[in-house]
Amino acid sequence: MAIEPIEGFLCPAAELSAYISDLLQAAGADVPSATATARAVVDASSRGVDTHGVRLVPWYIRGVEGGRVNLRPNVSFTRKAAAVGHVDADDGLGHRASFLAIEEGMAMARESGIAAITVGRSGHHGASGVYSLAAARAGFAAMAMTQADPAVVPFDGIKPFYGTNPISFAVPAPGEEPMLLDMATSAIPYNRIFLRQATGTPLPPDVALTPEGEATVDPFRATGLRPLGGANFGYKGAGLAAMVDILCSAFSGMGHAGTIPPLAGEDYSKPIPIGHFFLVMMPATFQALASFDARIGAFLADLRAQPATPGRAVLAPGDVEKAEAARRAVDGIPVDRVTWAALSASAERYGRHVPEARPTEGNRRDA
């Protein structure tokens, strides 16, 4: 749950967002898509969700340049019932379609109390929590899920079948940012393997498997992730992954996770369509808003007041990220050296301006 420190450059959120949008447009994306992608990744990075933040931009640019991404998508919304709608992302970047799903979901939830919105023919949308949080900041509770290409090995299996299939849930909280849960249904994200390869440190036990399905802590031998719950209880994490996959595929008209080609493979020339699933709820439909807010406030206060193991504190979902967001609002958003260099190379290629940034050595967090 701790946020790993980043070595690289610090840039204020607004400048970073404008820079990313500018680079995506230079690479060929249209304005609404580039803006939505920049918004999503900077929102994730602003809270310390660096695995799903700015780090992904060079990879998105590769998809835009290579032909995977439709540069002028006709992103369309179809209302299917009072409380159900579908967004066709038309093979564009997944962020724009996902923000649209939340917008339409809020409009439906205002009328019907709750709405389900599926997204089909979409692409990677970054951190699912970005979208549930966007709804919660506007006063709604929301869940967001996405499918992804195979990385997680089914319980008792040896080969990846599920994506890391995250579940996120956000709810407005009185007097503070919304409470946000945003979790992969595996114990660790796949890129933790790459990170541990880079640092030469072992993986935690019971989270990764070799191609033969044997448990390993060696990041150079690991090729698949165990579902949350590990060797003994991984059928629970796998069951959640199945639920997420079904909601994102059978309900959206997409194929299941096992049919999705590698998103980080070698071929960036063709669309790889995936699905997302969103729920949006209007609290005031369920309870008087004052009573709802009081209950959320009491839950958070009582949870945080629970006795803790020595030197620790009991936290609510998202508390670590809230503290990090407060620091990054002052310090700027750290971008690792590799990502910064890749962005700079794109800027140079397209003749775009690189914003001012200072090395993280000056970062208060490193002090």
Task: State the nearest-atom distance from the C-beta of 45 to its own copies, in Å.
Answer: 20
Burial grade of 331 (CB within 10 A; 0-12, 13-18, 19 or more): middle
Q: Which of 53, 237, 273, 334 binds its own copies (CB under 8 A)?
A: 237
Task: Kindly indicate which of the ranges 264-272, 289-297, 341-349, 359-367 contains the residues binding its own copies, using the contact rule CB under 8 A.
Answer: 289-297
Task: State the nearest-atom distance from the C-beta of 263 to its own copies, in Å.
Answer: 19
Our CB check for its own copies shows the closer of 13 and 243 to be 243
Q: Does 175 bind its own copies (CB under 8 A)?
A: no
CA atoms of 189 and 166, how far apart (whole Å) = 10
Nearest of 316, 319, 248, 234 to residue 279 by alpha carbon: 248
- Subset of residues 98 to 117 that bind its own copies, contact rule: CB under 8 A: 111-116
Q: Let me know: does 150 contact 261? Beta carbons within 8 Å.
A: no
Our CB check for its own copies shows the closer of 280 and 335 to be 280
Q: Which of 306, 330, 351, 353 binds its own copies (CB under 8 A)?
A: 306
- Subset of residues 18 to 77 that bind its own copies, contact rule: CB under 8 A: none
Task: Kindly indicate which of the ranges 5-13, 240-248, 330-338, 354-362 contains the residues binding its own copies, using the contact rule CB under 8 A.
Answer: 240-248
Task: Kindly indicate which of the ranges 19-27, 44-52, 159-167, 339-347 contains the residues binding its own copies, using the contact rule CB under 8 A.
Answer: 159-167
- Residue tagged 């096992």 (tokens): 258
Q: Does 161 bind its own copies (CB under 8 A)?
A: yes
- Subset of residues 317 to 356 that bind its own copies, contact rule: CB under 8 A: 317
DSSP label at residue 227 = B
Q: Does 236 bind its own copies (CB under 8 A)?
A: yes
Task: State the nearest-atom distance from the C-beta of 134 to its own copies, in Å.
Answer: 18
Our CB check for its own copies shows the closer of 105 and 332 to be 105
DSSP label at residue 152 = B
Task: Kindly indicate which of the ranges 25-33, 62-70, 284-292, 323-331 contains the residues binding its own copies, using the contact rule CB under 8 A.
Answer: 284-292
Q: Where are the alpha helices (DSSP H) in 67-125?
A: 94-112
Q: Let me know: does 118 contact 277? Beta carbons within 8 Å.
A: yes
Token pair in block for residue 271:
């669309």
Q: Does 290 bind its own copies (CB under 8 A)?
A: no
Contact flags string 193-232 toward its own copies, x per CB under 8 A: -----------x--x-----x--------------xxx-x
Task: State the nearest-atom distance from the C-beta of 345 to its own copies, in Å.
Answer: 36
- Exposure class string for 44-74: b at 16+ Cβ within 10 A, else e: bbbbbbbbbbbbbbbebbbbbbeebbbbebe
Q: Does 312 bind its own copies (CB under 8 A)?
A: yes
CA atoms of 346 and 28, how far apart (whole Å) = 12
Count of residues interacting with its own copies (CB under 8 A): 82
Q: Which of 142, 272, 296, 343 binds its own copies (CB under 8 A)?
A: 296
Nearest of 343, 338, 4 to residue 201 by alpha carbon: 4
Q: Report strand pairing: 167-173 vs 141-146.
A: antiparallel
Task: State the nearest-atom distance from the C-beta of 10 to its own copies, in Å.
Answer: 27
Q: Let me know: does 40 contact 127? Beta carbons within 8 Å.
A: yes
Task: State the nearest-atom distance from the C-beta of 241 to its own copies, in Å.
Answer: 10
Q: Let me know: does 131 contact 105? Beta carbons within 8 Å.
A: no
Residue type, 339: T
Nearest of 136, 121, 139, 222 to residue 181 by alpha carbon: 136
Task: State the nearest-atom distance from the C-beta of 210 to its own copies, in Å.
Answer: 12
Our CB check for its own copies shows the closer of 60 and 190 to be 190
